[in-house]
Structures are given as structure tokens and as C-alpha cells.
């Protein structure tokens, strides 16, 4: 067997999703070398439909660090959302409440912008690799992988970063005795669709009803993204267009409001859970994004949290290499986890406030309406939601 080809870099990054690519981009700007390896193909990642809401901090990082300003030109700025319950809509005016906004710009586009920028800057990003394994995270890490042409490599680095998503291989390198895993399961999932139809509303609608939750989001002038709460074991084959639209009508229409309907061009069931693995560092291995934590999708925090982890880790690595101080790097996990738990709380809260468990009794249903009313009738309640949705100030 031919010997492995040895390559060296400063930071080995496992995963070329938005988190891995953003880290590689930021490092390159301050002269720190990285190699990114990814088991999926560029095409596979760019065809996966993911969430669509970016916090203002995420948008600023994309634009200010020179990834692309396409989000400002092609994304849609949203100054609020609608909470709909008991057949009535209540606007949450982000701009008025906290002076901030979010952008509707699909994660796929964030990936395409980052991948194009890394390519244009000559970044070392290798897609479609196989047989990946990470060794010696406690000391000088080594990564083995085989590239798309079948060449076997040994990648030697100072640090290895697990940006390898919710099925992370890196997270399992941390021995059980050195980490805690926090789990919360929910009794529902989301049925997500893409439909060819005009927009039904200028802003996103988060709808609570006795028949369950629904979210009316958007993609383009002619394609809309929508979700409804379903059983985690739901099978997409059992749902034709008529059945899907009847479900949405039951949850959202009423009091003169009607959704625009059209052919369903994609459908999927999205699992739901909360998960955190702490600490986010083990020796010279750092975990970022979904590799370290998962939130339920209500509130669209997943990608935004991953980008925040990357920002904090970048500051630590920059300080380590360029200021010869390890302090910021040592505090990476604590600084990142503070926001992770705020986002866990927010996503859990939005989820439980808006979804209706199949076995909800009269008390829990009436209590839920009491909770929704206490939010929409109070500037403080609305401001709590607006601040969390648009994104808290970054860790200092
Ligand atoms: C979308 C997804 C979310 O989870 C959310 O809270 C808002 C929007 C989306 O895919 O558009």
C-alpha cells in the first residue's frame, strides 16, 4: 500500500458547511492557514434545503468580512413577524422594539457565497473525501482522509475543529468522562414543504392553533417555504397536495385571511430535539455549530449559533497566533456556551408556546393562550421575543 501523502496546516477543519468555511475564511484574512475537508460533495450541500433566517450579526459578519454582500442585494430584510392565534394576527415589530431586523436568505446561499469566496481566495477546501479519522486530539492532531481521486492523506495540524454537523464524528472523540451531553426530546416534528405559489404575507407567520402549529415562510416571489407540526413518525408519501393544504388551512386560515396555494414541489419531515455537548473544547479539538449543539427549528437559531461559535473561536485562534496569548482561546467554550444556552431557552420557549401536543388537555391549551396573550399584550414580552429572534449582542 502506498504511503500516505503528508500535508501540514495550522488548523484542520472537519466540515465545509457554513461554520467550517466561515472559520477558514476569517483565519485566512489574518494569515492563519487551514485545510477544510468535507465528506459531502459541493453539489450535495448546495441542494440541501435548510433554514432561511439570518440574524443581523450573521449578516454583518458575512458583509464586513468580505464574504459577499449578496445577502443585502438579494435577501429580504424583515422588520417583524406575525404571531397568529385564536384566528388573529399580532405583529412583533422588531425595529420598533429593539431597533434590529433579520434577513430572509437561505442557508444554501450562505454556503454558496462562502464556498465561492474560499475558492476565489485560493483556500484549501476538499469536498467528497472519504475514510476520515481524527487522531491525537489531546496533543498534535492528525487527520487521515482519502480525497475524491483516491489519494490517501495524513493532515498534520496544531488544532482540529469539528464543524462536522449534527452527526459529528469529532464530538465522539471526547471521552465520556470528559463531557456531559444534555438532551431534550419533543413529541413532534415539522412537515416542511416548498410550494409554487405567490407570497401569502409580507412577513413570516408563526401560527398556533388547536390543530397544531404552522409556519409560513418564504423563498422567492414564486416559491414559498412552509411547515406544519406533525408526528415524528409521519411519512411524506402519505401526504398528497390536497391533504397538505387542508392541514395548513385548518391551522392558519380564518377571519378573512387565506393562504395562497399551489403545487408542492418538495416535502420532508424535520426531526426535533435539543442537544448540547459540553465542554466545547477537548485538548486541541474544538467543536462548533451542530457538532456541539442542536436546537429545535422554531426561531431559526441553528445556523446563527454556528456562526457565532465561529466568530468566538476565530477571536481565540487569532489571539493565540497573532498576539501570542492563549487566554481568549481558553475561554472559547464558556463564551460560546453562554449564547448556546440562551438559544436553547429561546427555541424551547417558542416551541412549547406555539406547538400543541396531541394529548393537550383543556388546561394546557387555555394556559398556552394565556402565555401567548401575555406576550402580545406587553411591550416587555414582545421585546424579549424580538431581542432573542434578531440576535443578542455578541459575547465580549
Ligand atoms: C425558516 C425556518 C425556521 O425554522 C424559522 O423559524 C423561520 C424560517 C425558513 O426555513 O424559512
DSSP 139: S
C-alpha cell at 164: 462536522
pLDDT of residue 358: 86
3-state secondary structure of 136: coil
In a domain, 225, yes or no: no
C-alpha cell at 221: 416571489
In a domain, 10, yes or no: yes
Q: How many CB atoms lie within 10 A of CB 391?
A: 25
Q: At what angle do helices 362-376 and 332-354 cross, to 10 degrees?
A: 120
DSSP 261: -
Sign of CA pseudo-dihedral 286, 292, 297, 301: negative
In a domain, 314, yes or no: yes
The verdict on the CB of residue 97 being under 6 Å from ligand 1 is: no
Share of the chain above pLDDT 70, in %: 99
Distance CA 283, CA 301 (A): 28
pLDDT of residue 221: 93
227 belongs to the catalytic site? no
Q: How far is the CA of 225 from the centre of ligand 1 (A)?
A: 8
The verdict on the CB of residue 300 being under 6 Å from ligand 1 is: yes
Which of 102, 218, 219, 227 should be mutated for ligand 1, with most atoms under 8 A from CB? 227
Distance CA 41, CA 368 (A): 44
pLDDT of residue 326: 86
78 belongs to the catalytic site? yes
The CATH number given to whatever domain includes residue 297 is 3.50.50.60
The verdict on the CB of residue 225 being under 6 Å from ligand 1 is: yes
Q: Contact, 94 vs 390, CB < 8 A?
A: yes
Q: Which atom of ligand 1 is nearest to the CA of 51?
A: 10
In a domain, 177, yes or no: yes
Residue tagged active-site, from 56, 78, 308, 320: 78
The verdict on the CB of residue 9 being under 6 Å from ligand 1 is: no
End-to-end Cα, the chain, rounded Å: 50
Walking along the chain (396 residues) 10 residues at a time, the average pLDDT comes out as: 90 98 98 98 94 96 97 97 96 98 97 98 98 98 97 98 97 98 96 98 97 96 97 97 98 95 97 96 98 97 98 98 93 97 98 94 96 98 98 80
Residue tagged active-site, from 206, 227, 282, 332: 206
Q: How many CB atoms lie within 10 A of CB 115?
A: 22
Q: How far is the CA of 53 from the centre of ligand 1 (A)?
A: 6
How confident is the model over 47-66, as pLDDT tens digits? 998 888 999 999 999 999 99
293 belongs to the catalytic site? no
The verdict on the CB of residue 106 being under 6 Å from ligand 1 is: no
Q: Contact, 325 vs 319, CB < 8 A?
A: yes
The verdict on the CB of residue 51 being under 6 Å from ligand 1 is: yes
* Residue with CA nearest ligand 1 atom 3: 300
In a domain, 228, yes or no: no
Distance CA 29, CA 31 (A): 6
Q: How many CB atoms lie within 10 A of CB 361?
A: 9
Q: Contact, 74 vs 105, CB < 8 A?
A: yes
The verdict on the CB of residue 354 being under 6 Å from ligand 1 is: no
Q: How far is the CA of 321 from the centre of ligand 1 (A)?
A: 37
Q: Which atom of ligand 1 is nearest to the CA of 192?
A: 10
Distance CA 208, CA 220 (A): 24
pLDDT of residue 223: 96
3-state secondary structure of 320: helix
pLDDT of residue 1: 57
In a domain, 193, yes or no: no
* Residue with CA nearest ligand 1 atom 11: 52
Strands of 159-162's sheet, edge to edge? 124-126, 34-37, 11-14, 159-162, 285-287, 281-282
In a domain, 127, yes or no: yes
355 belongs to the catalytic site? no
**Domain extent for 31:** 5-78+103-181+273-358
In a domain, 203, yes or no: no
Per the structure, how many domains does the chain have? 1
- Name the residue among 380, 174, 129, 124 with its Cα closest to residue 280: 174
Distance CA 257, CA 370 (A): 23
135 belongs to the catalytic site? no
Amino acid at each position: 500500500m502506498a504511503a500516505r501523502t503528508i500535508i501540514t496546516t495550522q488548523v484542520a477543519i472537519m466540515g465545509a458547511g457554513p461554520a467550517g468555511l466561515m472559520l477558514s475564511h476569517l483565519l485566512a484574512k489574518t494569515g492563519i492557514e487551514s485545510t477544510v475537508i468535507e465528506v459531502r460533495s459541493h453539489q450535495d450541500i448546495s441542494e440541501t434545503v435548510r433554514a432561511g433566517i439570518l440574524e443581523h450579526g450573521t449578516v454583518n459578519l458575512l458583509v464586513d468580512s468580505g464574504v459577499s454582500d449578496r445577502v443585502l442585494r438579494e435577501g429580504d430584510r424583515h422588520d417583524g413577524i406575525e404571531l397568529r392565534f385564536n384566528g388573529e394576527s399580532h405583529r412583533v415589530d422588531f425595529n420598533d422594539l429593539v431597533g434590529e431586523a433579520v434577513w430572509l436568505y437561505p442557508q444554501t446561499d450562505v454556503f454558496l457565497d462562502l464556498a465561492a469566496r474560499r475558492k476565489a481566495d485560493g483556500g484549501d477546501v476538499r469536498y467528497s473525501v472519504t475514510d476520515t479519522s481524527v487522531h491525537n486530539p489531546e496533543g498534535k492532531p492528525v487527520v487521515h482522509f482519502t480525497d475524491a481521486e483516491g489519494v490517501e492523506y495524513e493532515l498534520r495540524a496544531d488544532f482540529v475543529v469539528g464543524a462536522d454537523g449534527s452527526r459529528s464524528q469529532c464530538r465522539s472523540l471526547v471521552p465520556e468522562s470528559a463531557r456531559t451531553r444534555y438532551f431534550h426530546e419533543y413529541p413532534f416534528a415539522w412537515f416542511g414543504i416548498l410550494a409554487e405559489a405567490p407570497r401569502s404575507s409580507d412577513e413570516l407567520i408563526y401560527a398556533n392553533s388547536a390543530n397544531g402549529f404552522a409556519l409560513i415562510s418564504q423563498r422567492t416571489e414564486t416559491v414559498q417555504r412552509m411547515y406544519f407540526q406533525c408526528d415524528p413518525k409521519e411519512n411524506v408519501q402519505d401526504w398528497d397536495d390536497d391533504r397538505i393544504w387542508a392541514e395548513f388551512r385548518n391551522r392558519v386560515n380564518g377571519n378573512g385571511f387565506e393562504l395562497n396555494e399551489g403545487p408542492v414541489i418538495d416535502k420532508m419531515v424535520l426531526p426535533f430535539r435539543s442537544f448540547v455537548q459540553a465542554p466545547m473544547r477537548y485538548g486541541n479539538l474544538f467543536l462548533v455549530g451542530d457538532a456541539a449543539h442542536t436546537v429545535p427549528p422554531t426561531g431559526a437559531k441553528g445556523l446563527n449559533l454556528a456562526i457565532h461559535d465561529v466568530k468566538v473561536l476565530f477571536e481565540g485562534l487569532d489571539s493565540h497566533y497573532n498576539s501570542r496569548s492563549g487566554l481568549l482561546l481558553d475561554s472559547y467554550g464558556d463564551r460560546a456556551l453562554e449564547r448556546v444556552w440562551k438559544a436553547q431557552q429561546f427555541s424551547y420557549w417558542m416551541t412549547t408556546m406555539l406547538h400543541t401536543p396531541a394529548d393537550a388537555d383543556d388546561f394546557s391549551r387555555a394556559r398556552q393562550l394565556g402565555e401567548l396573550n401575555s406576550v402580545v399584550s406587553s411591550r416587555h414580552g414582545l421585546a424579549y421575543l424580538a431581542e432573542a429572534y434578531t440576535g443578542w449582542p455578541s459575547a465580549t
